A and B are shown apart, each in its own frame.
Chain A
Amino acid sequence: MFKYFPHTKADIDAMLKSLNISSIDELFKDVPESVIFNSDYDVPSYMSESELRTHFAELSKKNQELTLFSGLGLYDHYQPAVIDALTSREEFMTSYTPYQPEISQGTLQYIFEYQSMIQTLTGLEVSNASMYDGATATAEACFMACAVTRRNKVLLSSTLNPNTINVIKTYLKYKELDWDFIVEKDGVVDIEDLKNKLNKDIAGVIVQKPNIYGIVENYEGFSELIKANKSLFVVNADISTLGVLKSPKEEGADIACGDCQSLGMPVAFGGPTLGYLATQKEYVRKMPGRICGYTHDLEGKRAFVLTLQAREQHIRRSKANSNICSNQSLMALFATIYLSTMGKNGLKQVNNLSYQGAHYLYEKLVATGKFFDPFQKPFLKEFTLKTSIAKETLQTALLENGIFGGVGLDIFGERYEGLINFSVTEKRTKAEIDNLVKIVEGLS
């Protein structure tokens, strides 16, 4: 017997008897003999629960938990204890997509609340129930722009996160759509280059704030140019920063997208996180993914349901706008609980505390004379500098002191050579920041 299989020998015998057969193998008679796998898999033998715990304790020792001064899309923000307590409830964790609304109001309601929170943060009218991550959400936004405008090319800001660029390129390439880059100038997307490249082929323009360097970009004039060209304006933004920064709606965006990891999720070696996607109602029928709507039951009781499903793959099949089937529902619950806990004041404070720490570190680093800022632009919790210290020397010294930060952006390609990124959240203490500065002061 094994703990996940309740079948006793008597059960199996009774079931076989009811089927008039003598062994389970007979049920596989449709399988050609030549493809039956008759041996054990070459995988390890089973482990008891205590052996597993020991095994993972060994594996854990091979990982090094570091004090994170790194960001680039994944941030070490505070995670309120209520999140784990609530998201681990089996009613949320083990249920499936809410196809039966009568017994799925828990999931449907928090999705509605999640959509409401994304709505207010982005300022746009409708959010879907979530996407896989920020990069794929942005790729889907590109598809959406092409579907809405019936055009086949997007313009990508050169200051997008390179991971996002890479994912968009893969999606566009295989769907046989086209793209071009808007160059950057002094660390921000260049409006003059945008003017030159806008033409009747352009479906959408995709920008990011804060951008890959941590800079808060200024999009004054963008939406007028883009609208005049009948293209869509897509703003990718770290959702947490929209607690204080101008909303995509205020920027004149048609679509907002990005990652929600900064809303109470661990960095988790990259996943799971979740992506958000929001737009105006006029484009909702081209929006991918699930959408939850408000309604009532036959007794007039408040109810939530999945709606506008005719857009989706299980109905439209090859004509669907997207192939997405799932959402990152449980991660949307993380975000919803986080934003419920923080409220508007907490979210502002998180941004302010991160801002304060980042600016303190920035000034201390620049004051060492070993770092300088090539951009001189506003930033929030993340910034990029050049340094006279060799990248390897810097990273090794920090790692030896249990710090991961000062990430060389050249991991994303040669064009970022010499640029070093730091990120500071509200979790980083003055002692931790001072320690980092002290280590750096000793380097040359």
Chain B
Amino acid sequence: MKKTKELATKVQKKNKSLQNKIQKKKGDLKFKIGDQNRLNIYW
């Protein structure tokens, strides 16, 4: 398998597993607000 495909598949599996866990949990979704707890979304 091509290396980039292999890596993409590896992260995709992690995502699917995390998504499953999130979907199964019951409760309120929370997002941290404010400079002290910035979502780390950048490059």
Q: Do the two chains belong together in a single complex?
A: no
